[in-house]
Structure 1
């Protein structure tokens, strides 16, 4: 396969990037694993032309948050660098805001190595692997999601400082009793705040109020989420960095086109 320039493969989870790199190299793609931290802190436009990537494959399944979206958006700024975002179907809407840039494509996590290689080939030749209607649909879904988040943030702005603090602590994983200790108030006072904030937010349960906070501010409650490639027939315990896992999958890498 002829690709003009190196293909950088990166993920917040290094083992995932290494596994996909090996898979792409096995079908002739000149792929190189790059550490996420080093690339997002690097000005790609300043890299010497022969070393500058033709395509960046960013595997972000499971960590599709606003910070990661911003990192990928920065990678796509140099005009001669193309980016393919590998995400889950459920999270692909999060990337619609970047699709106004023709240098960015979004694919999902259920394709074979050969299909991902084809996406890379299309991008390096200046084409897109996405159907134009699919691109427009993702952009429209992203705009709706953005408006929903904005509306929820406006609702959260109606909370008192005490109610807001209670919700923040609950959203970070604290129990009601722990919130009371943290704030120096009785548990009954915390429950009163919860009841009041639920009424203001129109949330039928405490869990729904916490979910609204997560939705508005793109937080994960402190969970250390990392992307995990998935594919048809994959065992739940498969380790993408284990050669035995790759042998069981054949040519599947867990990245897929929608």
Structure 2
């Protein structure tokens, strides 16, 4: 089978680990060249001609513009923007916030999980328009269901679904915009720094899941390939592709969880 992304260039945020890393590696395997954008250096052993990395903060307009400029300088074009970088609220309850904590934590989480997507998409827009390219965001089961995150994470992922649909409407027919909505996946997603939260730990067990398995980051990568490929070009925009292993059918079972953990 021919590579599905042969000749395309993709910029992936949050590409140093987790879903972003799995997507970047799968894009390479499918023939794409990749610009990895993360706060940490995203190194790769092998395929140096097809891989470049920029360190920066998705909350910064200048850093997003620098990442796009580097992709264009290194590879000559940009076909796909994957907005994926995110943080988690460790399922902090609404009552658990003081007003001052809520103020700071909202600004931090939404700046990464929502504004970071918008800034990246805006920085990439002209280049994507030139190639009739596409945007793929990482949403979550939390974008449609309560209980899989705290109040801030749930609200942010609902916002991602909304901006996916609005940008799909505004940018058509030149740029397609879609999202992948994973269920629980153990990615080590960082918590909110202003609350001194570390990485989330714990999560459901295979017995909690309808498919009796915990998905890994690489299990979702094929969905990003499909939405970025020419195979979906005539049919997919404004789509939020739910891949939650049936979690939403059953709903969360927090009583069986040892500790809060990330949900995509």
Structure richer in strand, relative to its length: 2
Q: Is the structural similarity TM-score above 0.5?
A: no
TM-score (norm 1): 0.42
TM-score (norm 2): 0.41
Structure richer in helix, relative to its length: 1
